[in-house]
Structure 1
Amino acid sequence: MSRKQRIVEVKESDLPLHCPMPGDPVWDAHPRVFLAVEEKGEALCPYCGTLYKLQGWDGHAHRKH
C-alpha cells in the first residue's frame, strides 16, 4: 500500500527548516535533518519523503526582505 506524499508549505519565519517540524506526530519521527528550502523553493526530506514548499519564493537563492 503506498502512502500519499505529504506536502507542507512553510514560511520564511519557519527557517532554518528541519524535518520533522515542531508539532509533527511522534510516531512519524525520524532523525532531525535540516533542509535547504531557500535554494530552490522546495526541499524533499530524505527520510519520510515530505515535500516542503517555501511560500513566496521568488526564484532567487536568497531570502526576500
Structure 2
Amino acid sequence: MLLPNPMTAASDQPTQANAQTRVSVARTQLPFSCPQPSMELWNSHPRVYLPLEAERECLCPYCGTLFVLED
C-alpha cells in the first residue's frame, strides 16, 4: 500500500513514520527534523535534526529514511 508523501500530504490525517525510504525536502522546510509533525509519533523515534543544507542528503540515524534536499 502506497502512502502519501508526509512532506506534501494535503490531508489532516497523520502519516505513518518510516513508511517511505526516500523523501524529498524543500528548502522552505529547513531546518529539518525526523520525524515530521505530520507523522504519527506513537510508533516513531526521538526527534533528530538533520544537516540537509550542508549535506544535501541525510539518512535518519533512527529509521534509516533517506532525506534529499531538492532545489
TM-score (norm 1): 0.71
Q: Could you list the structure 1 runs, at least 4 aligned residues long, displaced by more than 2 angstroms after superposition.
A: 25-28
TM-score (norm 2): 0.66
More helix by share: 1
Unmatched 5+ stretches in structure 1: 57-65
Q: Helix, strand or coil for the counterpart of 1:28?
A: coil
Q: Helix, strand or coil for the counterpart of 1:34?
A: strand
In structure 1, the partner of 2:37 is: 22
Give the superposed CA RMSD: 1.7
Q: Given residue 60 of structure 2, which amino acid in structure 1 is its aligned partner?
A: C
Q: Given residue 38 of structure 1, which amino acid in structure 2 is its aligned partner?
A: E
Q: Which has the larger radius of gyration?
A: 1
Q: How many percent of aligned residue pairs carry the same amino acid?
A: 47
In structure 2, the partner of 1:45 is: 60
Unmatched 5+ stretches in structure 2: 1-18
Aligned length: 53
Distance 2:24 2:45 in 1: 20
